[in-house]
Amino acid sequence: MLDCSVCEACGAVAWGDPAAASACAKCGGPTVAVDEADPDGWPASLDVARWYDRGAVDPSGESAYHPADACTFILGSKSPNWLYAGGVGKGRLSGRVRRPDGPVFISAASMRTGGGGTVRRVRPYPAGDTGWALDSGGFMELRDHGAWRQSAAEYAADVTAWAEQTGTLAWAAIQDHMCERVILDRTGGTIAEHQARTVRSFSELQNIAPGVRWLPVLQGWEPADYIDHLRQYRDAGHDLRTMELVGIGSVCRRNTAANYDAIADIVAAIYGAGCRRLHGFGLALAVLPRVADRLGSSDSLAWSYGARRRNADKGARNSIHTAEAYRARVLAIDGVDSL
């Protein structure tokens, strides 16, 4: 159990010994001890919506984990060339290319091939000019193959090399296991099994390559699943409430109007459980206004997918101009910024 109490009047959460919090630090109302990882055990008098919507405070009334000043948008890209001001080397990495004005999000698959082809190898990248974060490419890997083909040691070696070569890698996502139905059907696993594998990936990668900033990712489907996964990380020795950034998985593939409320509930639940620096993977433009104030960062490659749906030519699908136009729309949302 993660020791905490909840105010029955305002829904505020206080971490620490529940016996020491006889009155709410925010409003002075009565508190009740609960296990936030066990929704079935929450008292009937507690408004769960308020629980999801309130942040954690320590007994002194100070916020234990401070939210970000703004949600940093990380522009998705399939081209490692966007790490450089003018292109480098020969072949795919050559030519004059205007880099984006902010950080970029690139998948491990693109880094291995330079943005095209199928060769699996670590390219010798020079020092980069642009900050970036690495997507593990887990959804495509599990959807297409049903399992991770790379061992943790192989993945860690690739990421370590890219981090050392470019010098601008902010963080790298772990080899997590998503919980969308299409992925569960492909792997034959359950949500609980995928959560356990995700925690194991974080532990293994930290042990193998402690010099890389690995992004832990919470997986699940319903809000309660994510809270339970938070407990699983805690049981493995990782208190994600103290982490600089925590990823929210299994949300980018349900970016439809029918799921916007569900995504907002998931973000609010994790935030309310004490994780105050969250990364939203692939969140849609329509979702960001609802959750930006609870995110530390978010990424999107929707500009490229949108061009494909419009049957735009290949140039538009990979155009920096198309990408920057989308980025400008994201940055117009209140609470979203760029580095």
SS3 71: strand
Tokens standing for 199? 């925690």
Bridge partners of 35, per DSSP, are 3
CA 184 to CA 176: how far, in whole Å?
Answer: 13
Maximum pairwise Cα distance, the chain: 68
- pLDDT score at 321: 81
- pLDDT score at 29: 76
pLDDT tens sequence across 129-178: 888 999 999 999 999 999 999 999 999 999 999 999 999 999 999 999 99
- pLDDT score at 177: 98
* Amino acid at residue number 174: I
Q: How would you write 163-177 as a 3-class SS string?
A: HHHHCCEEEEECCCC
Q: Are 174 and 209 in contact (CB under 8 A)?
A: no
Q: Are 115 and 107 in contact (CB under 8 A)?
A: no
- pLDDT score at 140: 94
Mean pLDDT (10-residue bins), the chain, 339 residues? 57 55 69 58 40 34 42 90 64 51 90 59 76 95 96 96 93 97 97 98 98 97 95 95 94 84 93 92 91 93 68 60 87 83
- pLDDT score at 135: 97
Count CB-CB contacts under 10 A for residue 29.
13
- pLDDT score at 61: 32
- pLDDT score at 20: 55
- pLDDT score at 121: 54
Tokens standing for 134? 């690495």
- pLDDT score at 59: 32
Q: To 5 degrees, how large is the angle CA 123–CA 178–CA 240?
A: 90
Query: Can you give the residue ranges of every domain in the chain?
Result: 3-57, 71-337
Tokens standing for 44? 């009937």
Give me the CATH code for the 71-337 domain, please: 3.20.20.105
9, 11, 18, 26: which is closest to 60 by C-alpha?
A: 26
Label the pairing between strands 71-77 and 31-35.
Answer: unpaired
DSSP 224: H
- pLDDT score at 204: 98
